[in-house]
A and B are shown apart, each in its own frame.
Chain A
Amino acid sequence: MHRLRARPYAAALVALALAVTTASCTGSDEPEGAPSPAPSSAPAESPATSDEPAPESVQPRVRVTRVSGRLKPKDQEVLADNVGKVVNAYFEDAFTGGAYPRTSFGDAFATFSDGAARQADGDRDLLTNRVLGPQTESVVVRRQTAYLSVLAPYKVAAGVTATVHLRFVAERADKPAKRVDVKGRLMLTRKEKSGGWKIFGYDLTQDATTAGEGGAR
């Protein structure tokens, strides 16, 4: 479960964020050619300044943006849902979920293939919130997007690259908050038996900066 800090004025700020992001949420971080969000969609990022109370966590956004081959629109929706669950489960297990302050990240790679999980274990400091976790009191998600490039040569998805961006603020006791950006690619194929999706490759960067610097949180 997420442990998210409830904040006053959250509803008003979410509404404000929605209005702002509706106008400008196709930022430079969004992959080229990604579709513009529908006006009713959840905000991909919730802006705020250091002087304002931060809004609640935004909802994850997952979309199919490219298909190499053919995949029906309805199948694209199902795919986005299924792959989204896997990607979002990783982000939750590794960064945004759990009870903070958090020292255990043993379940961070549950949605990875066995081999990828073994490799990821060696990159744990970058692929989880382990470094900041013990000092973090709560996590507020500011952006959580996954844009999917799909390989579907025979009208069925065979492989997916998720171009991801997770931005969250780690609120810390007696210390300034940290804004953490996790960006890059997650590669997925189907499990042989169940047909579900698993992450078999990753190419991610993590960038932690002090929240409030440059007016960004």
Chain B
Amino acid sequence: MTTLLPALAGLPGRQLRRLLVLGLVLAVTALVVPTPTYRDAPVSLVKGQGASGVDHNHNVVWILFLGSDARPGQGMTRSRADAIQLTGVNLKTGHATMIGIPRDSYVPIPGHGRDKINAAMYFGGPKLMGRAVGNLVGVQPDYVFTTGFAGFRKMVNTIGGVTVNSRFAFSDPVRPKGYKVGKNHLTGFQAEIFARIRKSFPRGDFDRSGNQQDVMRGILAQVRGGMDKPGFMERGVLSVVRNMNTDLKPSQLYKLAQAGTRVEQRKLRGCVVLGGIGTVNGASVVFPSYSQARRIGRDVRNDARLDHGC
């Protein structure tokens, strides 16, 4: 036996028997179990690895979203704006910042003296409104999107409603169970009320502007959740084409919308321009904090990323 293998020489008999049995088992296994047909080198592709990218002409886009208070029969772009949100989107990094402007902000309106900022749309349409907001913040919008109540409701309904994270509990007839603190899934009509109501909130117009940003966060989440579903983005953009006023062609809107889905929820920030409350000619107004507005503007102008807080 010791002649079988030099390495086995000198082993105690019991240990040698064990080794031989083990060798026999291995040999039988090798004969009975089919030899693997291959031993493949790993390929660097991992199951389900993905890549995504969307081309847009600009890395950072500034859009002024306006909610017009036009009643039926009134021109949407020649009424006053109830909701004013200047929003920067970084299509490269996925960052975005919303800057809410209280509608009663008392500011210079180019060519029209001083007035509430939402009067700029009445005087000169979305373009003048864009200039007034741009002058306050120090960032001029690339595009101005305007919608009315009905259009807003339709757009929200098209994407399946919207979930908002409310900071306040309040009631309204459009939502019999009320709005609770925390998550609320809202229909278009309920979302409209959520974005318009202000008297229930401690900071009135400022909190309303914050609620509008909560709705926009909810819309982004809803869109990102549905963008993979065939036809979802096309239905959404069609609704925007039909219910929003903008200078963009449908193809440009489509491209912008697809690029906008690059914005990540966790990289979306919101600030509301604060200010003092007062009256001018008997009307309640907000004297906005220019220093705060300009500071935010400087922070986010080039990359839409809020680095230094509100």
Residues of A within 8 A of B (CB): 31-34, 65-69, 112-116, 119-120, 122-123, 125-127, 131-132, 147, 149-151, 153-154, 158-159, 161, 163, 175-176, 178, 184-185, 187, 189-190, 200-210
Contact = CB atoms under 8 A, between A and B. Distances in A.
B52 A204 contact: yes
Contacts of A149: 230-231, 233-234
A37 B216 CA distance: 40
Dominant SS at the A interface? strand
A116 B52 CA distance: 10
B49 A126 contact: yes
Interface string B44-64: 110111111111110000000
B249 interface: yes
A153 B50 contact: no
Interface string B258-270: 1100000000000
Nearest to B228: A185
Contacts of A203: 50-52, 228
A147 B234 CA distance: 13
A201 B54 contact: yes
Contact of B45 (A65, A125, A159): A125
B53 A151 contact: no
B234 A151 contact: yes
B251 to A, nearest CB: 4
B254 A159 contact: yes
Interface of B: 37-38, 40-41, 43-45, 47-57, 228-231, 233-235, 237-238, 241-242, 249-251, 254-255, 258-259
Given A185-B228, A203-B50, A114 B55 contact: yes
Contacts, number: 137
A34 B44 CA distance: 34
B250 A158 contact: yes
B244 to A, nearest CB: 12
Contacts of B40: 175-176, 210
Contacts of A125: 44-45
Given A126-B45, A176-B40, A33 B230 contact: yes
Given A69-B238, A189-B254, 20 more contacts: A66-B230, A115-B55, A116-B54, A119-B54, A123-B51, A125-B45, A126-B51, A131-B45, A132-B43, A149-B234, A158-B251, A159-B237, A159-B254, A187-B255, A190-B251, A200-B255, A200-B258, A201-B54, A203-B51, A205-B50
A116 B231 contact: no
B51 A127 contact: yes
Given A176-B37, A204-B50, A206-B45, A161 B55 contact: no
Contacts of B231: 33, 65-66, 68, 149, 161
Contacts of B56: 115
A161 B44 contact: no
B230 A205 contact: no
Given A205-B49, A207-B48, A158 B55 contact: no
A113 B47 CA distance: 28
B200 to A, nearest CB: 37
A33 B50 CA distance: 25
A153 B242 contact: yes
A151 B50 contact: no
